[in-house]
Amino acid sequence: MQKKDRLGIRIAGPAGLGMNSVMDIVANAFSELGYNIITDSEYQSIIKGGLNFYDVNICSDFPYIMRKIDILIGLDAKNIVPNLEDLSQGGIVIVSQKTLAGLKKIQSDIEEKFRIIAPEINDKYENTYLVAVLSGILGVDSKNFEPIIRKVFLKKGSEVVEKNIKILHDFVEFGKNFYVDLLPELKENASPKKISYGNRMIAYGAIASGLEFYSAYPMTPASSILTEIINSKKIPYLQAEDEIAVINAALGASFTGARSMVGTSGGGFALMTEALSFAAQAEIPIVAILSQRSGPSTGAPTFHEQGEILYATRPTFGDIENIVMVPSTLEEAYFMAGQSLNLAQKYQTTVIFLTDKQFSEGKVMIGELQAASVDRGKISENPGADYARYQLTEDGVSPYVRVGVENGDFIATSYEHDEYGETSESSEMKIKMTEKRTKKVGYLFEKEKISGFEVINPCAKKKIITLSFTRYTAEYFIKNNPEWGLIIIKFLSPVDERLRGEIEKCDEVVFVENNFSGQLETLLSEKLGLKYLPNTKITHKRKYNLLPFYYEDFQELL
């Protein structure tokens, strides 16, 4: 029997019991063994209790997520029951004896349907017991988990650390009594992998490319970018009282010449709209990270959705086009975070860095990281006496100065203005300044020598079009189904018009996105005139049930 290339482990339980730590311990231990890891976290927006699960997908080769799992680690009966439908036939449930007793009251035939492994646990370190049992069941030596356990409990003192290490060693031996050959076969010469998550890569990619100021008000799922910035101890930051203060503080920093960035989610981004319009008028560079979550309004704030695709392309009032970038891998997030700072300064414009809950929080292996070289654009170190901040130029980009430079005084106003920033209501000046602001990002891809999309398996006549973290599982799908190709969108604004030519080559394209209305499909259809393509069938697969696309969703395309 051929071994599977993935093992799915789910940790389910109420908030407040450290499930995230369990996920990290398991993910890090198996990545050190050389496996490719990808995670999926689904949790309610409450501090304690509720229904929550954290998946660790242990893959021998390419990382992807599935809804189906092989092992369920349960921390209470209430959370175990709804997850049993995802447990494969003959799957394993690891619980304490106490939890099992409660589980039997809800589902009396549980031991007939699944293999139950239930150690007796009499103290508060239940997570360590269950991780140790898992290690033993899979035949993994306790030494692979020991460094991670030490790190997790380090702040609690040596006595607690040693107690948990003893639990680990003792209950790995207990787990070995139930050994099952479930682990995927490692590739030859597999080496330890590093794993990270989207928000961390964004933070450190920006830092590596000269970020000089970051401001934010904590809002899931963007909050951990602020945490990473603070913990880095490298960047001046402001945790302000609200998102209005956040964006205006960042614009103030950018006005002085500092490379500035803010981070938020939908509701916070809405509060930034007026300031972003001001930034467009005053041509102040700014990068705004918009990490999408389920809406509208507060919605289901800890769950996944891609409902702000269109909003990101037109977040301001007034007739203005900004840049919208969408990373699809952690390596891209690292590079594109710095690239976004470059584009903001080079074109003196707003750059929206669009992610989503799945990308912000999903953990996956990372390869070699490349930081974007710092490019501050047209900065004038010695402006002349007649310096015009909004000088009309052929490419629409005017030289800017750092605040305090001799002869560098100018007015940054929210009103329409002339070349010096002086308020103007002249029809002629309005035309000139509108055209100036618009043409700055014209021909962006040609000027930057970049592409707004990526194509995998270009010869395939059927292609999936998607974006963000969905890329990982979609790419695994086409590896197994070579009649399909994949187009990954990297820029939503401006749209790379060369994309139409790629779509025209296809017999069929399927837009895959996490929203009801088909915002990615709507945007590209409008910009590229896709409804006029005579020989290409355009369909879609949309998901808006709070969950990401799993491999099972792609299999439905067959």
Q: What is the CA radius of gyration of the chain?
A: 26
pLDDT of residue 190: 86
Residues 236/259, Cβ–Cβ less than 8 Å? no
Q: How many Å apart are CA 100 and CA 94, to the nearest integer?
A: 9
pLDDT of 320 strictly over 80? yes
Q: Which residue has the higher pLDDT, 2 or 474?
A: 474
Split at pLDDT 50, 70, 90, the class of 2 is low
| End-to-end CA gap in the chain | 24
Residues across the chain:
558
| Tokens representing residue 2 in the block | 């051929």
Count CB-CB contacts under 10 A for residue 174. Answer: 16
| Tokens representing residue 191 in the block | 């080496």
158-172, pLDDT tens digit by residue?
999 999 999 999 999
pLDDT of residue 187: 84
What proportion of the chain, given as a percentage, has pLDDT over 90?
91
Could you give the residue ranges of the DSSP H alpha helices within 33-74? none
- 263-273 average pLDDT score: 97
442-461, pLDDT tens digit by residue?
999 999 999 999 999 999 99
Phi-psi region of 421 (alpha: psi -120 to 50; beta: other; left: phi over 0): left
The contacts of residue 540 (CB under 8 Å, 6+ apart) are 510, 511, 512, 513, 518, 521
HEC states along 318-331?
CCCCCEEECCCCHH
- 221-230 average pLDDT score: 97
Average pLDDT, the chain: 95
- 372-401 average pLDDT score: 95
- 461-481 average pLDDT score: 98
pLDDT of residue 20: 87
pLDDT of residue 276: 97
Split at pLDDT 50, 70, 90, the class of 205 is very high
Query: Cα separations (Å) of 507 from 184, 459, 537, 540?
Result: 36, 11, 6, 14
Domains of the chain, each with CATH number or no CATH: 6-192 (3.40.920.10), 196-366 (3.40.50.970), 378-450 (no CATH), 452-555 (3.40.50.920)
pLDDT of 513 strictly over 80? yes
pLDDT of residue 1: 40
34-84, pLDDT tens digit by residue?
999 999 999 999 999 999 999 999 999 999 999 999 999 999 999 999 999
481-511, pLDDT tens digit by residue?
999 999 999 999 999 999 999 999 999 999 9
Cis peptide before 82 (omega within 30 of 0): no
pLDDT of residue 153: 87
Its sign, for the CA torsion 502, 504, 508, 511, is: positive
Split at pLDDT 50, 70, 90, the class of 370 is very high
Split at pLDDT 50, 70, 90, the class of 108 is confident
Q: Which residue has the higher pLDDT, 20 or 416?
A: 416
pLDDT of 21 strictly over 90? no
Q: How many Å apart are CA 137 and CA 131, to the nearest integer?
A: 10
Side chain identity at residue 247, one-letter code: I
Split at pLDDT 50, 70, 90, the class of 32 is very high
Provide the β-strand partners of residue 509. 463, 538
Pairing of strands 237-239, 213-216: parallel
